[in-house]
Amino acid sequence: MKDIGSKLRGATDRGVEQAAAAAAGRLAARAADEHLLDVAYAFVDTPFGRFLIAGTSRGLVRLAFHPEPVEAVLNELSDRVSPRVLEAPSELDDVRRELDEYFEGERHEFDLPLDWRLMRRGFSERVLRATAKIPYGGVSTYRDVAARAGNPRAMRAAGNALGSNPLPIVVPCHRVVRTGGNVGNYGGGSDMKRALLQLEGALL
C-alpha cells in the first residue's frame, strides 16, 4: 500500500507540474499576442547545472549560470531591457535545443540571433565581438583579443570585458586563456572553463 501511495503522489505531482507548465505557456502566449512580453526567460539543465536564458525579439540577450542569483538576473533584465519580463520556455526552444546539441558535442557553432544591448559599449564590446569569432576548438589570449579590439596593452581591461560577458558559451569567453596556456579566470569557475575547452578538443 505504501508503494501504491507513493506512486499516486508522484503521478499527482507530475500532473500538477504539467498543468502549471501548460498554464504558464498559455499566459506567455497571451502576453506575446497582446505585446505585453518583451523579455522571455526559461531554464535549461546542462552538465554544469541549471542555466537561465533570456531572449527578446532581437535574439538571445542573457545566459546566466550559477552562482548568479536568478532574482539579480531578472532585475537586470527588467532595469536594462524592459520590465515586461515573463517566464516563457516555448519562446526559447531554439536556444535550449542548440545548447543541448553543443553539450552533446554535436554542435560546433551557434546559429542564434543575438541581442547585444547588455554589452558594455566601446572597448568592451569590441573585445566580445572579437571573442565571438574564435572558432570551436581554438583558443586566443587576453593580449590577442585586446589587440583585435584596438589596444594590445589593455589586457586587464579585456579581462574585465570578458568577465562581464552577458552571453557566455554562445560568445565563447572560455576560449580566451592566459599567455602560456593557463586557462585563467571564468565566471563559472576554472574547472568549468577547462571542461568546456576539453569538450571542444582545445585541451587534452
Q: Report domain extents, the chain.
A: 2-103, 123-199
Structural domain 2-103, CATH architecture: 2-Layer Sandwich (3.30)
pLDDT number for residue 109? 96
Write phi, then psi, for 123 (nearest 5 degrees): -55, -45
Distance CA 15, CA 121 (A): 47
User: pLDDT for 141-169, tens place per residue?
Assistant: 999 999 999 999 999 999 999 999 999 99
**pLDDT band at residue 180 under the 50/70/90 scheme:** confident
Listed in sequence order, the residues at least 6 apart from 5 whose beta carbon sits closer than 8 Å to its beta carbon are: none
Query: Residue 87 belongs to what H/E stretch?
Result: strand 85-87
Output 55 or 184, whichever has higher pLDDT. Answer: 55
Q: Is the pLDDT of residue 2 over 80?
A: no
pLDDT number for residue 9? 57
Q: Which residue numbers are catalytic? A: 173
151 SS3 class: coil
Cβ atoms of 58 and 9 closer than 8 Å: no
Whether the model pTM is above 0.85: no
Please say whether the structural domain 123-199 has been given the CATH code 1.20.140.10. no
pLDDT number for residue 27? 45
3-state secondary structure 13-75: HHHHHHHHHHHHHHHHHHHHHCCCCCEEEEEEEECCEEEEEEECCCCEEEEECCCCCHHHHHH
User: pLDDT for 21-58, tens place per residue?
Assistant: 444 444 455 445 545 799 999 999 999 999 999 999 99
User: pLDDT for 79-92, tens place per residue?
Assistant: 999 999 999 999 99
pLDDT number for residue 8? 54
Nearest to 48 by CA among 69, 67, 30, 76: 67
β-sheet bridge partners, residue 63: 53
User: pLDDT for 65-119, tens place per residue?
Assistant: 977 899 999 999 999 999 999 999 999 999 999 999 999 999 999 999 999 999 9
Cβ atoms of 142 and 158 closer than 8 Å: yes
